[in-house]
Amino acid sequence: MRYFKRPSVVLATLLIVLTALVVFLSNSALAQGREFTQRHFQKLMKVIQLTQLYYVEDVDWDTVVEGAISGMLADLDPHSVYIPPKKAEENKESFQGKYEGIGIEFDIIDGYLTVVAPIPGSPSYELGLQSGDRIIKIDGESAVGITHDEVRRRLKGPKGTQVTVTILREGMDEPFDVTITRAEIPIYTITTSFMVDDSTGYVAINRFAATTSRELEKALSNLEKQNMRRLVLDLRGNPGGYLDQAVRVASKFIPGHQLIVYTQGRSGQMDEQYFSDQFNRAKVRNYPLIVLINRGSASASEIVAGAIQDYDRGLILGTNSFGKGLVQKEFSLGDGSAVRITTAKYYTPSGRCIQRDYKGKKLEEYYAELQDTSWVDEKNLENLPTYQTRGGRTVHGGGGIRPDVIVRYTSYSKVPKVTNKIRQKRLFFEFAGHHEEALKGKYRDFHQFEQAFQVSDQLLKEFQRYCAEKDVPLDDAVLQKDRAYLARHIKAEIARKLFGNQGYYFVLIMGDNQFQEALRHFPEARKMAALSLDSFRH
């Protein structure tokens, strides 16, 4: 017979935890369900005891308990989850908007730790690390074959500490060392912002973290100095984040004391109202606004889009959003892990809860619905609750934010099996690096480059040969079928090499059919903004 490791300690700990929970529940607002709760705790305790006494092998109780917690939360709703210690720390870092390290965007390409871009203002940026640099040693130890987790462990560290990296740079005969003093590195939630033309600004937000409102204020102020008179706010693929940041973002475009979102929980303890003037905003913008959303726009993104739509303040364009109207609160479990539990539902100003139905559905089924396009059919709206915007337009609840203008995304690769391999191996990035030196200094600025540089058939053929050398066959049929996609990404990566990330994103967005359609709808957005702002004054 095999014996368990520290059985008495494990069992005693579980007993203490369960007893504490029972005592807590018996003295809480849940007292009315106490007998039911105690009965189930007793059942769980019985299973633990039986496992402890009779199970055939040693039990990894950490894994068992984590599995039990995850299983229980999964039965509640799709968004209540258990977060292991390592993931909890990463989440904390991400949503705080900063970490301590050297400041690079990186990837592992052919086994080499490769700098995609130094983060502006970071120690790596100040010391001249360049896109395409390969870090082959860290503090004298080889970094060839390193994993993503190892990169983070070896390059991150307390600010003020130092790390020496050995750089292999194309065009230089020998590797060289750079000693970098770690610092606090911002994690930006604004992916990019720039002027598209002499009056149109573009801002993309990738999530809502603690710094989002401040980042957006800075981006808008900078664009306004460049004479921005209309804005495309891109929330596509934004999974959400902090609710208060969503309120702050929406409030930059909605004047006065207006309700932005409200939450309702089971007991009333989580009921809250959030207003547009609640967080000491710096300025309210009145220019025409178009918000881009898609199936990846969730939670806080939907709060922003919902408020803008309910007040007729801007035009929502794209495809249906995710449909997540649940509010989660994160609770620490004391060992670095945490649980994120749904505490309330949120509602847009018109009263819409945009949460998709999840009752009785498996998690796979719930997420598979994102591929469903039946929401486009007007007949399917008949079963959804209807609400009125401030201007009297009809909007629907119960299934995400439905755009005012539906535009499907068509700028994707036509041969994704091939292009996914190209992207996974970062061949666009590497190929652009081979042309960087020849193109440096050829264009006086990005505008000239964007207008003059074209990806020729000759350059595409060269890229085809390069892909073949990297074991990614790209035959003539694929080359022609996906020419626009391939050319756009080659040009974007060359733009990144020459002009930084703004150049990269500019090239990509100019080939984006949803963005191009948004530009055509600004007359409608201008009229909507004028009517909406006039209604706030009455």
Identity at 237, one-letter amino acid code:
G
Q: Are 277 and 256 in contact (CB under 8 A)?
A: yes
Q: Where are the beta strands (DSSP E) in 362-445?
A: 386-388, 394-396, 405-406
> Burial, 285: exposed, middle or buried (Cβ in 10 Å; 0-12, 13-18, 19+)?
middle
Please say whether the dihedral angle defined by the alpha carbons of residues 311, 313, 316 and 321, taken in this order, is positive or negative.
Answer: negative
Which of helix, strand or coil describes residue 538?
coil
Residues in Cβ contact with 392 at an 8 Å cutoff, skipping those fewer than 6 apart: none
Q: Pairing relation of β-strands 386-388 and 176-181?
A: unpaired
Q: Of the residues 122, 133, 251, 324, which is catalytic?
A: 324
**Which residue type does 114 have?**
T
- Asked if residue 83 lies in contact with residue 340, where contact means CB atoms within 8 angstroms, the answer is yes
299 is catalytic: yes
Q: How far apart are CA 68 and CA 48, in angstroms?
A: 11
Q: How far apart are CA 250 and CA 143, in angstroms?
A: 44
Catalytic residue flag (residue 324)? yes
Answer whether 52's CB lies under 8 Å from 313's CB.
no
Which positions ≥6 away from 167 have C-beta within 8 Å?
A: 129, 133, 134, 135, 136, 175, 176, 177, 178
The DSSP element (H or E) to which 531 belongs, if any, is: helix 522-536
Chain centroid to CA 234: 12
Amino acid found at 278? Q
Q: Catalytic one among 124, 213, 299, 350?
A: 299
Determine the distance from the C-alpha atom of residue 62 to the mean position of all C-alpha atoms in its chain, rounded to a whole number: 30
Distances (CA, A) of 153 to 102, 146, 150, 339: 12, 11, 5, 25
- Residue from 133, 234, 244, 310 carrying the catalytic annotation: 310
Known catalytic residue at 43: no
Residues 6+ apart with CB under 8 A from 291: 233, 234, 235, 304, 305, 308, 314, 315, 316, 317
Catalytically annotated residues: 299, 310, 324
